[in-house]
Amino acid sequence: MIFFKIFWVFIKIGTFGFGGGYAMLSLIQEEVVDNNKWITKSEFTDLVAISQMTPGPIGINSATYVGFSALHNQGYSPTIAILGSVIATVALCLPSFLMICVISYFYFKFRTNKYFSYALSGIKPLSIALIALAALSMATEENFIDYYSFAFFGLALVCSIKFKMHPIVILFVAAVIGICIY
């Protein structure tokens, strides 16, 4: 029964946990600490620390840790507890995987449709505008964007589009120039 409950909890978190791993942490805490009491608040604090230190997304790392701990704390052997971590991890990733499969299906089905192409043509500049808006909204008095920042942006844009430079090379050169200027 606990296997199904772990699956159900993490499928809900994977479905409704918008905003990435850090946004999921509050849902994970509510479900595993408050509602199901699979781990304590102290263990949850350890979970966050360990999930940040290990490679990979924090939400997936947290699900893996909770799946193992929930079963291990209830007296199951470590081998069975590993199964709990697999169930929690798969359940967390399953909704996103299914959504991407559905989106991919419709993309490949309608990619030659002229109205679909028009819609994508309208979405592309909007997504660039949203990214630019996010960047500009971070410009406060403490980290005000100065003329050098605009010059870096222009230079990076030209190097990327005209000279087809790799983004990592552009980032590295910008970092070196930034260290020299600032």
* pLDDT tens-place string over residues 71-114: 999 999 999 999 999 999 999 999 999 999 999 999 999 989 99
Same domain, 55 and 89: yes
Residue 107 lies in a domain: no
Cβ atoms 14, 92 nearer than 8 A? yes
Distance between CA 174 and CA 165 in Å, rounded? 13
pLDDT band at 61; cut points 50, 70, 90 = very high
Percent of the chain with pLDDT over 70: 95
Query: Are 64 and 141 within one domain?
Result: no
| Other Cβ atoms within 10 Å of 38 Cβ, number | 23
Last residue of a domain, one of 42, 77, 102: 102
Q: 102, 136, 153: which is the final residue of a domain?
A: 102
Residues 21 and 82 in one domain: yes
**Phi then psi for 38, rounded to 5 degrees?**
-75, -35
Same domain, 119 and 157: yes
Residue 42's alpha-carbon distances to 16, 31, 33, 35, 37, in angstroms, are 25, 15, 10, 16, 12
Please choose, from the candidates 102, 66, 88, the residue with its C-alpha nearest in 3D space to the C-alpha of residue 12. 88
DSSP secondary structure letter of residue 13:
H
In order of 7, 25, 119, the CA distances from 17 in angstroms are: 15, 9, 27
pTM above 0.85, yes or no: no
Chain position carrying tokens 């403490």 = 142
**Do 79 and 156 belong to one domain?**
no
Domain limits for position 61 = 2-102
Is there a domain that residue 109 lies in? no
Identify the three-state secondary structure at position 43: helix
Same structural domain, 85 and 11: yes
Buried b (16+ CB within 10 A) or exposed e, 58-84: bbbbbbbbbbbbbbbeeebeeeebbbb
Residue 124, pLDDT score: 85
Residues 93 and 135 in one domain: no
